[in-house]
Amino acid sequence: MNVNFSYTFIKTQLMNLLILNSKNINLFIYIISAITLTMFLLYVDEGLNNFTWMTDPLNWVSFLIYASGIVAGQLFFENILLKNYKRQGKVLMSLFGGLLTGAFFIFLFLLLFAFIIQLF
């Protein structure tokens, strides 16, 4: 069996599995960047510099909130703010601009959550 054939076969199967187009690739990039950033932030949280946070199920809830907020910010930045931008660099601008927008979304969510908690 030729190594090049197996690589081509695997690549073809992955492409068929993911049905790669520009929207799916962008979403994949946004999800990976959000997960990576959130993992890093939770790694350095409270100066522990380890992954012991993974043992607590409630920390996974905060992980999902932070990661989904960042992805939402990136998608908002790409689909709303840069809707008519046709030049190169849209994904890169959405990555970094979306991180800031996502941080703002997370802040608003936490503020709303704290407000609702105080009502009860």
List the domain boundaries for the chain.
20-119
- Which of 37, 31, 42 has the alpha carbon at shortest distance from 74? 31
pLDDT digits (tens, 9 = 90+) for 84-99: 888 888 888 888 998 8
Q: Taking the model in full, what pTM does it have? A: 0.73
CA–CA gap between residue 103 and residue 88 (Å, rounded): 25
Range scoring the smallest mean pLDDT among 15-29, 65-79, 93-107: 15-29
Mean pLDDT, the chain, rounded, equals: 83
CA–CA gap between residue 30 and residue 71 (Å, rounded): 6
Q: Where does the pLDDT of residue 107 fall: very low under 50, low under 70, confident under 90, or very high at 90 and above? A: very high
pLDDT digits (tens, 9 = 90+) for 34-60: 999 998 888 887 667 788 888 888 888
Read off the tokens for 65. Answer: 């909130």
pLDDT surpasses 80 at 12: no
pLDDT surpasses 60 at 5: no
Is the model more confident about 89 or about 116? 116
Half-sphere exposure of 98 (CA within 13 A, CB side): 30
Is residue 77 within 8 Å of 94, Cβ to Cβ?
Answer: yes
CA–CA gap between residue 43 and residue 103 (Å, rounded): 18
Sign of CA dihedral 19, 20, 21, 22: positive
- Residue range 97-116: mean pLDDT, rounded: 90
What pLDDT is stored for residue 18 in this prediction? Answer: 59
